[in-house]
Structure 1
Amino acid sequence: MSARAVVGVALAACVVASLLGGILGGLLRVGMALPSTADAAWLGRGALAHAALVMCGFLGTVIGVERAVAAKRPTAWLAPLASGLAGVALLAGHGALGGGLLLAAASLFVAVNVLLWKRQAAPHTALLLASAVAWWIGNLLFAIGAEGTAVLPWWFAFLVMTIAAERLEMTRLMRRRPGAQASLVAILASLAAGAAWSAFSTAAGGVVFGAALLALAGWLFAFDIARRTVRAEGLSRYMAVCLLGGYAWLAVGGLAWAATALGLPARDAALHALGLGFIVSMMMGHAPVILPAIARVKLLFGGFFYVPLAALHASLLLRLGAGFANFPWRAQGALLNALAIALFALTAAGAAIAWRRRHGGRISRTSA
């Protein structure tokens, strides 16, 4: 087996471990009984490190792989390898090592994004670099043991800025009204300011952060190409539905984040409207395009992709609606969230097998 294949297998194992540990740990946090693993020490660690596993060990590694593919430098793979190993370290109970690896991963990731920005000095690459810096700040705070109220805004800023940059790149050829790009910069600067302020004042920083998320949702609804492509057919319409649904949850997340900062019991809604409703919706929408680009895995698109998407949104409505004041309903919604993600993974795997059967294993050079 080649060195590249070994790294690929190691990264895949780390990503699966972080995602599985994060999801099962999250279910444990909402009181779900998991009989087969109830006494497993790693599961308890997964509950404690739920956010770090999902946002850094899983998403940070996947984004790092995407950026390493774009950089076309062997050393660029060190960033996702470090974040992937960090997830394993956290599950193994080595918290200090996990924090150090996440800081190293973010430092390498910033260097990769500097390289990409130098190659193409454009608004979206500058924004990607800013998102990398946000991740570095969040990982630094995590490594030194800062409170979650200081760390989480930076981790969410990293993911939200990454998505905003990708949407900016996708729509760069659209004609926008004057001031659209400047308003986006102002919104994301407010997001960073709210994240920084949260370390000193949870209330003031949280209100600014939540308002910035709400403003970003409005900006995306107004200027993103999805509001046009939703009238198309096939994959273009599916992606647009994922995006527009995600933007609605982004608005909910912004309102809930500000409400939580003001003392209302909306923390679960703030975290999971963003983490599941917005970010996972984006992942579902982009998977048919991203997988061919970074893993050379083509997916045969069909209407069945709407099933896990609908399941995700329905389970979120249960969790954040009926479950807002009813903890058992919230737990059931969380379980259905996990099942929706599992269903999407099975759907993607089935679509990959279907594509290979139809095309005889040939890999096209064009994206889906």
Structure 2
Amino acid sequence: MTASRIPPRALLLVPGGFALLAGLNAALLLLGLPAPFRTARLLDVHGTLLVLGFAGTVIALERAVAVRQSWAYLAPAALGAAAVLLTTPAPRMLPGLLLLTGSAALVAVYVPLWRRSADVAVLVQAGGAVLATGAALLWLANVPMPELLPWLSGFLILTIAGERLELARVAMLNPQAETLFGIVAATTVAGAVATLLWPTPGYALLGAALLATTAWLVRYDIARRTLHSTGLPRYTAVCLLAGYGWLLVPATIWLLLGPVPDGRGYDAVVHAVMLGFVLSMIMAHAPVILPAVIRRPLPYTPAMYAPVALLHVSLLLRIAVGDARDIPWAVQAGGALNIVAVLVFVVIAAFSAVFAPKREPQVGPQRVAP
């Protein structure tokens, strides 16, 4: 295959991209703003679309590429198909079963990865996939989204943190720090599960685990060193460290206040995790992840800083002004600018990939999750 040809597996990104756009459309509706499509169905599946439909598909596809076995593509295929069905009048059972199948397949993907490299980083990521599977099962059982948030958050946080742990090991991380993070990750899984069974202690435990996760990442992630470099390494470090800071919001709220199922506190927790942390991680790693999947370079450009800055400034407006002070216009304006930041980044990334030199990218064993 020539370097200019895009491999068939890249088609699995299409339903993931569809889920992103549908989720952003739903976000506009939730903010009370004009949207291209106005349907109550999107309001009901907004969170599921973006977490399992978009992020889940991308993560599962990257894992399938890493494991290099054809059966592993069942995970992104099922999650992507579920994302499409979520936007249709199809019975809830159909996308629900696909979400469960895709998430369970993602758990299975970590088995050969563990056999290849039996280390804590793989176990941490597998723990995240287990939480995703649990969330899919609970969603199928009609458990409300606020009760699924700890599970979905744990899925994304552990997947990302596990990859950062792997890179820290490459940089000669001491064994004690690795063991410590394994304990923190296990506590995160236990806390997420406990929120459903014993909400008050469960949320406190999860909040404490997220505080420990944030402290560990800031202390041991190589981003602290690459922040002083230039180009892509520095850009990645800026995105990472900014994203870690947003984890303090859910950690503090859950530790001190416990369950926050609605209102401004819920809005702050959801978007601090999903936008401040997760989306910042996606922006950080897109120039690494996408070339490995599509076999086409996505060169870094300083223009990528623009949507990153807009994301974090608009999120501050939304959370620190809108949610904290209960100012509706700030929530609405911040939310609208959040969406603009996502779309601007997509445009910049697409432009960079389309006009990149047609050469074979390096897609060795490096594995970095969004």
Do the structures match in fold with TM over 0.5?
yes
Alpha-carbon separation, structure 1, partners of 2:190 and 2:338: 31
Q: Does 1:76 align with 2:72?
A: yes
Aligned to 1:345: 346
Aligned to 2:101: 104
RMSD: 2.0
Q: Report the secondary structure of 1:315's partner residue.
A: helix
Task: Report deviation, 1:220.
Answer: 0.6
Task: Report deviation, 1:129.
Answer: 1.8
Alpha-carbon separation, structure 1, partners of 2:276 and 2:317: 12
Q: Which amino acid aligns with 2:345?
A: F
**Mapping of residues 216-235 of structure 1, within 5 Å:** 216-235=213-232
**Mapping of residues 18-33 of structure 1, within 5 Å:** 18-33=19-34
Task: Report deviation, 1:259.
Answer: 4.7
**Mapping of residues 271-310 of structure 1, within 5 Å:** 271-310=270-309
Task: Report deviation, 1:258.
Answer: 3.4
Question: Does the 8 Å contact 1:117/1:129 carry over to 2?
Answer: no
Question: Does the 8 Å contact 2:297/2:359 carry over to 1?
Answer: no
Aligned to 1:332: 333
Q: Does 1:64 align with 2:37?
A: no
The C-alpha deviation readout for 1:119-142, integer Å capped at 9, x for no partner, is 221221222222221211111111
Q: Report the secondary structure of 1:221's partner residue.
A: helix
Of 89, 93, 96, which residue of structure 1 is paired with 2:85?
89
Question: Does the 8 Å contact 2:296/2:361 carry over to 1?
Answer: no
Alpha-carbon separation, structure 2, partners of 1:255 and 1:161: 18
Distance 1:72 1:178, change over 3 A: closer
Moved more, 282-291 or 112-121: 112-121
Of 205, 214, 218, which residue of structure 1 is paired with 2:202?
205
Moved more, 297-306 or 232-241: 297-306
Q: Report the secondary structure of 2:22's partner residue.
A: helix
Q: Does 1:153 align with 2:150?
A: yes
**Mapping of residues 106-185 of structure 1, within 5 Å:** 106-176=103-173, 179-185=176-182
Question: Does the 8 Å contact 1:227/1:240 carry over to 2?
Answer: yes
Q: Which amino acid aligns with 1:340?
A: A
Task: Report deviation, 1:186.
Answer: 2.0
Q: Which amino acid aligns with 2:61?
A: V
The C-alpha deviation readout for 1:136-172, integer Å capped at 9, x for no partner, is 1111111112232432211111111111110011111
Q: Report the secondary structure of 1:92's partner residue.
A: coil
Task: Report deviation, 1:253.
Answer: 2.8
Question: Does the 8 Å contact 2:149/2:270 carry over to 1?
Answer: no
Distance 1:364 1:188, change over 3 A: closer
Distance 1:265 1:343, change over 3 A: closer
Aligned to 2:189: 192
Alpha-carbon separation, structure 1, partners of 2:130 and 2:73: 18
Question: Does the 8 Å contact 2:16/2:80 carry over to 1?
Answer: yes
Aligned to 1:315: 314
* TM-score for both structures, normalised by structure 1: 0.91
Question: Does the 8 Å contact 1:213/1:254 carry over to 2?
Answer: yes
Distance 1:272 1:259, change over 3 A: farther
Structure 1 residue ranges without an equivalent (≥5): none
Distance 1:15 1:213, change over 3 A: same
Aligned to 2:3: none
Alpha-carbon separation, structure 1, partners of 2:27 and 2:295: 31
Alpha-carbon separation, structure 2, partners of 1:301 and 1:108: 32
Task: Report deviation, 1:366.
Answer: 5.5
Distance 1:18 1:259, change over 3 A: farther
Task: Report deviation, 1:291.
Answer: 1.1
Alpha-carbon separation, structure 1, partners of 2:66 and 2:159: 14
Alpha-carbon separation, structure 1, partners of 2:255 and 2:46: 22
Q: Which amino acid aligns with 1:242?
A: C
Alpha-carbon separation, structure 1, partners of 2:197 and 2:107: 25
Q: Which structure is richer in relative contact order (CA contacts within 8 A, separation 6 or more)?
A: 2
Q: Report the secondary structure of 1:328's partner residue.
A: helix
**Mapping of residues 39-58 of structure 1, within 5 Å:** 41=39, 44-58=40-54
Q: Which amino acid aligns with 1:295?
A: I
Alpha-carbon separation, structure 2, partners of 1:177 and 1:73: 32
Aligned to 1:17: 18
Q: Which amino acid aligns with 2:159?
A: T
Q: Which amino acid aligns with 1:228?
A: R
Question: Does the 8 Å contact 2:295/2:360 carry over to 1?
Answer: yes
Q: Report the secondary structure of 1:33's partner residue.
A: coil
Task: Report deviation, 1:177.
Answer: 5.2
Alpha-carbon separation, structure 2, partners of 1:75 and 1:260: 43
Question: Does the 8 Å contact 2:296/2:359 carry over to 1?
Answer: no
The C-alpha deviation readout for 1:76-122, integer Å capped at 9, x for no partner, is 11111000011111110322111111011112111111121122212
Q: Report the secondary structure of 1:321's partner residue.
A: helix
Q: Alignment length, in residue pairs?
A: 355
Alpha-carbon separation, structure 2, partners of 1:179 and 1:319: 39
User: Share of identical aligned residues, percent?
Assistant: 38
* TM-score for both structures, normalised by structure 2: 0.91
Alpha-carbon separation, structure 1, partners of 2:204 and 2:128: 20
